[in-house]
């Protein structure tokens, strides 16, 4: 009896000690669960963001405020149910301190309730539908919003001979935002959208839509497709000789994505887009970023997804520093709000009220520079807040 009790006691103590050791080990680790589409249609987005996150860590070390930062990358194949399940596992099993990534809007939205319930900051590095930040008070965004980019282009277009436009967008959140905000602002500026076309997000066939645009003969075709789909649009636009028929191609910068632009050929030269990031952004901070990114990734050029990932890591690192490694989700979130810094994209700011990004939107034209195709910035609208926010 005595012996048994003694045995029980020692095992209980041992178990406690083990648990304490585990807690201690956990305590010294700061986990970031990075959920991205690493395979499937949006794989380039995952590849860009993971590379940028790893670059940020290589440049800034993995010891922050006494914690060892650990990046846990999960592939959601851009299927929202998978994103949600992975987020749940990361929160419950891995006890991640922050959720990050989110290649497409449905994935970001599917995770919002988990962020809210577990009080885990959710740093959206890619997805760009305006309403995302309203889905959870724990969401902070470091990418952009489609209304930001679209409104800026609708300011430029009518002053540059573009009055009659057909819009063509991917038929989901960001596309619908782009369509709506571009149209409203164009009308306000004396232009008109004569037809609004929507293509499916999954396996889109642009051909019949482009044929329709050709028949309608607008001054320009305004396009939003997600990162990775731009090259296909460009190719079919040129194959149909639409540029020769006098139809200009304009869009948010997703269509002349730096991940693909250099392979689009000279037909892309002259295409005007509006966006928050170009690999050709002429600043010292960006030059360093592009160079280091290329060096670490076999010459790969960073696109706007990469910059969203890089800046997202910055926001997380700073929050960890400010909270001295002692804060839970609420403290981290508070330290993310209001951050202001110089990104490779230019100055940026996390609006404390909306948790959304305030940033410059640039007008850019595709040009050949040093033998390569770039989005060359020629105008800027400074400190653009998301026009989609009503509050
Ligand atoms: C989204 C918006 C995705 C813009 C994108 O590429 C993009 C989104 C994957 O919100 O789903 O370029």
What pLDDT score was predicted for residue 5?
53
End-to-end CA distance of the chain: 69
For residue 8, pLDDT beyond 80: no
Average of per-residue pLDDT across 273-284: 98
pLDDT given at position 163? 97
Mean pLDDT for the stretch of residues 372-390: 96
Pick from 145, 179, 227 the residue to mutate for probing ligand 1's pocket: most ligand atoms within 8 Å of its CB. Answer: 227
From 104, 147, 305, the mutation candidate for ligand 1 (largest count of ligand atoms within 8 A of CB) is: 104
- What is the 127 CA–ligand 1 centroid distance (Å)? 5
Q: Whose CA is nearest to atom 7 of ligand 1?
A: 226
Distance 254 CA to ligand 1 centre (A): 8
Q: What pLDDT was estimated at residue 25?
A: 54
Identify which of 127, 150, 169, 256 to mutate to test ligand 1's pocket (most ligand atoms within 8 A of the CB): 127
Extract the runs of DSSP E, i.e. beta strands, from the chain: 29-36, 63-64, 67-75, 98-101, 122-124, 139-141, 164-170, 192-199, 220-224, 248-252, 272-275, 340-343, 346-350, 357-369, 372-384
Whether the CB-CB separation of 221 and 237 falls below 8 Å is answered with yes
- Ligand 1 centroid to 2 CA: how many Å? 67
Average pLDDT over residues 191-200: 98
At 6 the pLDDT is 52
**Inter-CA distances, 349 with 192, 323, 352, Å:** 33, 19, 9
Atom number, ligand 1, closest to the C-alpha of residue 127: 10
Ligand 1 atom 10, closest CA: 127
Instruction: Tell me the CA–centroid distance for residue 175 and ligand 1, in Å.
Output: 9
82-111 pLDDT, tens digit each: 999 999 999 999 999 999 999 999 999 999
* pLDDT of the residue at 27: 76
Is the per-residue pLDDT at 148 higher than 90? Answer: yes
- Is 9 a residue whose pLDDT tops 80? no
- Lowest-confidence region among 35-44, 197-206, 300-309, 382-391: 382-391
CA proximity to 97, closest of 72, 79, 76? 72
Tell me which of 11-20, 237-246, 294-303 is least confident. 11-20
Residue 288 has pLDDT above 90, yes or no: yes
pLDDT tier at 226 (50, 70, 90 boundaries)? very high
Predicted local confidence at residue 268, as pLDDT? 98
The arrangement of strands across the sheet holding 63-64 comes to 63-64, 67-75, 29-36, 98-101, 122-124, 139-141
Spacing, Cα 104 to ligand 1 middle (Å): 5
pLDDT of residue 261: 98
Q: Which residues line ligand 1 (CB under 6 A)?
A: 42, 45, 103-105, 126-129, 173-174, 226-227, 254
**What is the predicted pLDDT for the residue at 284?**
98
Which of ligand 1's atoms lies nearest the C-alpha of 103? 9
Radius of gyration of the chain measured on its C-alpha atoms: 23
**Per-residue pLDDT, 389:** 87
**What predicted TM-score, i.e. pTM, was given to this entire model?**
0.94
**Rounded to the nearest whole angstrom, what is the distance from the C-alpha of residue 84 to the centroid of ligand 1?**
18
Q: Where is pLDDT greater, at 38 or 10?
A: 38
Q: What is the pLDDT of residue 1?
A: 46
Mean pLDDT score across all residues of the chain: 94
Q: Where does 163-307 show beta strands of DSSP type E? A: 164-170, 192-199, 220-224, 248-252, 272-275
**Which residue's CA is the nearest one to ligand 1's atom 11?**
104
Q: Residue 17's pLDDT is what?
A: 47
């Amino acid at each position: 009896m005595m012996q048994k009790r003694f045995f029980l006691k020692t095992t209980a103590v041992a178990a406690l000690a083990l648990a304490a050791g585990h807690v201690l080990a956990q305590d010294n680790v700061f986990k970031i669960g990075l959920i991205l589409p690493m395979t499937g249609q949006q794989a380039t987005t995952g590849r860009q963001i993971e590379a940028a996150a790893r670059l940020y860590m290589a440049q800034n070390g993995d010891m922050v405020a006494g914690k060892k930062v650990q990046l846990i990358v999960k592939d959601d194949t851009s299927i929202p149910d998978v994103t949600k399940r992975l987020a749940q596992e990361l929160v419950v099993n891995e006890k991640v301190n922050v959720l990050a990534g989110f290649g497409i809007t449905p994935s970001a939205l599917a995770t919002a309730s988990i962020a809210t319930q577990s009080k885990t900051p959710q740093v959206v590095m890619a997805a760009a539908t305006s309403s995302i930040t309203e889905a959870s008070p724990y969401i902070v965004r470091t990418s952009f919003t489609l209304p930001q980019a679209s409104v800026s282009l609708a300011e430029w277009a009518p002053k540059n001979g573009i009055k009659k436009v057909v819009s063509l967008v991917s038929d989901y959140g960001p596309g619908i935002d782009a369509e709506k905000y571009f149209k409203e602002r164009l009308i306000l500026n004396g232009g008109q959208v004569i037809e609004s076309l929507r293509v499916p997000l999954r396996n889109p066939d642009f051909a019949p839509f482009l044929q329709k645009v050709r028949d309608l003969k607008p001054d320009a075709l305004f396009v939003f497709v997600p990162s990775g789909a731009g090259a296909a649009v460009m190719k079919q636009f040129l194959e149909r000789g639409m540029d020769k028929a006098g139809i200009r191609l304009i869009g948010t910068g997703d269509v002349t994505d730096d991940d693909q632009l250099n392979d689009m050929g000279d037909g892309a030269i002259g295409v005007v887009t509006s966006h928050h990031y170009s690999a050709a952004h002429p600043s010292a901070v960006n030059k360093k970023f592009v160079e280091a990114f290329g060096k670490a990734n076999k010459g790969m050029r960073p696109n706007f997804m990469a910059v969203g990932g890089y800046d997202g890591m910055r926001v997380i690192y700073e929050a960890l520093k400010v909270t001295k490694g002692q804060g839970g989700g609420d403290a981290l979130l508070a330290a993310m709000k209001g951050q202001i810094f110089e990104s490779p994209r230019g100055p940026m700011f996390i609006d404390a009220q909306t948790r959304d990004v305030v940033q410059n939107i640039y007008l850019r034209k595709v040009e050949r520079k040093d033998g390569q195709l770039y989005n060359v910035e020629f105008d800027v609208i400074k400190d653009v807040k998301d026009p989609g926010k009503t509050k």
